[in-house]
Amino acid sequence: MSIAQRKRITSGMIQIGLVALALAIWLAVMRDFRLDDSFITYRYARHAAEGVGLVYNVGEPVLSTTAPLYALMLAAGSWVIPDFHLLGGLIGALSIGLGAAALSSLLPASASVWVRLWTGVVYASAAPLWLALGMETPLWILLVLLALRLAQAERWSASGLLMGAAVLCRPDAGLPGLLLTGAALVASLVRIGARRRWWESLVSFGLATALPVMAFYGWAWTAYGSPIPATFNAKNAQAELGITGFGPHVTVMEGLARIGASLLGHSLLYLAFVPLAVTGFAGRVSASTALVMLWGLLHLLAYVVMQIAPYRWYYAPLAPGLILLAATGLMWMAQRVPRSAAMLLAGLALAAQIVSFVRIQDVMAHGGANEAMLPIVDWQAYREAGEWLAAHTPEDALIGVAEVGQLGFYAQRTMTDYLGLLQPAVADLLRRDDLYSWLVGYQPDYLVFQRYGGRTGLALYNRFIEFDPWFASSYREVAKFDDPRYVLGPVVIYQRQTPSRPLREWALDVDYDYLRLVGLAVEEPLTAGPGRVRLDWEVAGALPPQVQIAVALLDTPERVQFDGGYNTRHWSGRLSTWHSLVLPEHTQPGMYPVWVSVGVVDGRYVQRTVAEAQVSAEG
């Protein structure tokens, strides 16, 4: 047997071993792990498999998943494995194992077998990847690594196809796609004069990448009106309000710092990666390693520039470059210090990751603090709440939630969320710092809230609504689900008690200096109890930073009004605000003036009576 044959056999054994390791970690530790956001894509996949379209809510063509290709893969795979959680975990585990094999193959030819094995094992046991299990994250990173490996072998067409698939699994793959486009350009330019078809590398890669992407985007234009996921606008709006996966007002770089602090909190052995990475710069960094590291840095920079609200899995693309850099440092050290010392350092780094899995498993079993690199054990309470909704609500019920993953998947009802992931109009409200209009405008048949340890009031992010008169008179608690492991619970379900009444609309032209009231809609007939008003506005001048809008029904025994403040930074063109009224029980039937006031705190107010609304004795 030749040396080349032995190397191929050894490489194959390493690859099989890494996939087996990933599957073992999944089955032994991570099989019960559920990431709420992954269930959004699972619901898209289930609807696609059922033939109702690649949609979240049936009949609402909105692209709220950033992973359409992953959703289609899940839909196809569900014909064999109908349990989407099991299927998503299997795809993720295989992606991590194959990604470990692909990453180790990107090391220089001079890398020893044990360094390649160490590189793969570190990747296969990296907590940031496993804590994204169920998401498209492990899959799209695998596709990028495979595309890099094929480009390294100058198989540009195959590399481009995989890169195009990666983009359809996650638009973030466009960045490494641009880097490989640059590599293909360089590969073509160095062949000018040396071969006839010198441009072939660039053209082959470019066309192979672009064709699947353009085909999907063309279809998405017709199906959704835009190929850009609705979540992009929602995440930007969330960032402006300070809603992030790490807590209020955490920036991308602060999120990265929290991940590092959390890992060090698991074990100080993670510090073993520091000398490995530092000496990696002293070693000879290969072109592939440099490209993977540049990908991670550009990915991080893009999120900083776009001011996206950070979530834990957004940082996973940093892992491949850091691991390759540490492996380069390990190669450098192995040649200059006793091999036992280098292996000890490598072993300590691996031991740190084992400690992380012990911590993760402990939290999954018993619960624990809400920490950056530990799971949130919400799945039992969310599943029970979702199954209750499926069993106890009409099929046409509208469910309002904060998190639409597991609740929506198990409820199998039309969902709306105040964080704007499902309806672009809600994301626009969020961008205007107007969460109350979502509640009153959509008036869901059922609302699902977390009680945050049972201690705090019900909140639409920064607005506590438990004692809001309209909410208190419109909804009552009907079910509660708790799990001592879920630190943000219990999960409470409220049912709307008031009927949905039609709106009477007026076309208006009422001047409020910088705003013009162009429309009014009032629930009629209004009766004692809760009612709703919609105001349609047109921006008519330079707006102050904050605007107060008050709506009242005059001449009632008690002045009934809603007074709300709005951030106007993103107000432009035409927009609507929703307001609530709660009429006292002794309000007499008749016609009542509708009064609208606009102004600024401690400043000038413009007050107008704009219409008359009818109050009836009963609905």
Q: Are residues 462 and 530 in the same domain?
A: no
| Per-residue confidence (pLDDT) for residue 6, from 0 to 100 | 72
Q: Which of 342, 366, 390 is the last residue of a domain?
A: 366
pLDDT at 464: 79
Q: Are residues 414 and 548 in the same domain?
A: no
In this prediction, residue 529 carries a pLDDT of: 87
Which pLDDT score, from 0 to 100, does residue 528 have? Answer: 85
Q: Are residues 387 and 530 in the same domain?
A: no
Q: Are residues 359 and 480 located together in one domain of the fold?
A: no
My answer on whether 383 and 355 are in the same domain is no
- What confidence tier does 453 reach under pLDDT thresholds 50, 70, 90? low
Cβ-proximal residues to 409 (8 Å cutoff; 6+ apart), any chain: 39, 40, 42, 43, 46, 84, 386
Query: Is 371 domain-assigned?
Result: no
Give the integer Cα–Cα distance in Å for 494 and 245: 25
Domain count, the chain: 3
Instruction: Mark which of 459, 481, 496 sits at the end of a domain.
Output: 496
Residue 532's domain comprises 503-615
Q: What local confidence, expressed as pLDDT, does residue 524 receive? A: 85
pLDDT at 510: 95
Asked whether residue 538 is assigned to any structural domain, the reply reads yes
Same domain, 332 and 258: yes
Within 10 angstroms of residue 351's Cβ, the number of other Cβ atoms is 13
Which residues, including other chains, have CB under 8 Å from residue 216's CB and lie 6 or more apart?
Answer: 68, 69, 168, 227
Are 299 and 220 found together in one domain? yes
pLDDT at 148: 97
pLDDT higher than threshold 90 for residue 381: yes
Distances, alpha carbon 252 to alpha carbons 182, 259, 300, in Å: 27, 11, 8
Residue 557, Cβ density class (10 Å: 0-12 exposed, 13-18 middle, ≥19 buried): exposed
- 412 dihedral zone (left: phi>0; alpha: psi -120 to 50; beta): left
- Segment 272-278 shows an average pLDDT of 94
pLDDT at 561: 59
459 class by beta-carbon count within 10 Å (0-12 exposed, 13-18 middle, 19+ buried): middle
Q: Report yes or no on 374 lying in a domain.
A: no
Closest by CA to 163, choosing from 213, 216, 201, is: 213
| Total residues belonging to the chain | 619
Residue 558 in this model has a pLDDT that exceeds 60: no
CATH number of the domain enclosing 600? 2.60.40.770
Looking at every residue in the chain, the average pLDDT score rounds to 91
Looking at the predicted structure, is the pLDDT value of residue 289 above 70? yes
pLDDT digits over 312-355, tens only? 999 999 999 999 999 999 999 988 888 778 889 999 999 999 99
Where on the phi/psi map is residue 522: left (φ > 0), alpha (ψ -120 to 50), or beta?
A: beta
Residue 385 has pLDDT above 60, yes or no: yes
- Look at residue 188 in the predicted model and tell me its pLDDT: 85
Q: What is the pLDDT of residue 585?
A: 83
Tokens of 148: 């890099």
pLDDT at 539: 96
Per-residue pLDDT at 80 = 97
pLDDT above 90 coverage of the chain, percent: 71
Nearest to 238 by CA among 433, 19, 450: 433
Distance between CA atoms of 419 and 427, rounded to whole angstroms?
7
pLDDT of residue 557: 58
Q: What is the DSSP string of 15-78?
A: HHHHHHHHHHHIIIIITT---TTHHHHHHHHHHHHHTS-S-SSTT------S-HHHHHHHHHHT
Last residue of a domain, one of 469, 496, 523: 496
In a domain, 462, yes or no: yes
pLDDT of 118-170, one tens digit each?
A: 999 999 999 999 999 999 999 999 999 999 999 999 999 999 999 999 999 99
Within this chain, do residues 113 and 169 fall inside the same structural domain, yes or no?
yes
389 and 341: one domain?
no
Please check whether residue 353 is in contact with residue 122, taking contact to mean a CB–CB distance below 8 angstroms: yes
Q: Is the pLDDT of residue 2 over 80?
A: no
384 or 187: whose pLDDT is higher? 384
Q: Is the residue at 190 inside a domain?
A: yes
Q: Is the pLDDT of residue 204 over 80?
A: yes
Residue 440 located in a structural domain: yes
Return phi, psi of residue 136, to 5°: -80, -5
Q: Are residues 308 and 397 in the same domain?
A: no
In a domain, 67, yes or no: yes
**Residue 166's Cα: distance from chain center in Å?**
17
So what's the pLDDT on residue 433?
A: 84
The residues facing 464 across adjacent strands are 459
pLDDT of residue 454: 59
Average pLDDT over residues 570-588: 90
Residue 536 belongs to a domain: yes
Between CA 614 and CA 617 the distance in angstroms is 10
What value does the mean pLDDT take over residues 255-283? 94
The pLDDT value recorded for residue 87 is: 98
Q: Given a cut of 90, is residue 309 above it in pLDDT?
A: no
- Residue-wise pLDDT for 408-439, tens only, equals 999 999 999 998 999 999 999 988 888 899 99
Two tokens at 394? 């009409």
Residue 601: its pLDDT value, please?
A: 78
Write down the pTM of the prediction: 0.94
State whether 138 and 285 are in the same domain. yes
Looking at the structure, do residues 521 and 405 belong to the same domain, yes or no? no
Report whether 373 contacts 288 (CB < 8 A).
no
**Residue with more model confidence, 464 or 351:** 351
DSSP 430-490: HHTT--HHHHHHH--SEEEEE-TTTTSPPEETTEE-TT-HHHHHHEEEEEEE--TT-TT--
For the chain, the helix, strand and coil percentages under 3-state DSSP, each to the nearest 5 = 50, 20, 30
CA-angle at 442, arms to 542 and 570, nearest 5°: 20
Amino acid identity for residue 145 in this structure: L
Q: Give residue 366's pLDDT.
A: 93
Question: At residue 367, what is the residue type?
Answer: G
| Mean predicted confidence (pLDDT) in 445-460 | 78
Predicted confidence at residue 456, as pLDDT, reads: 62
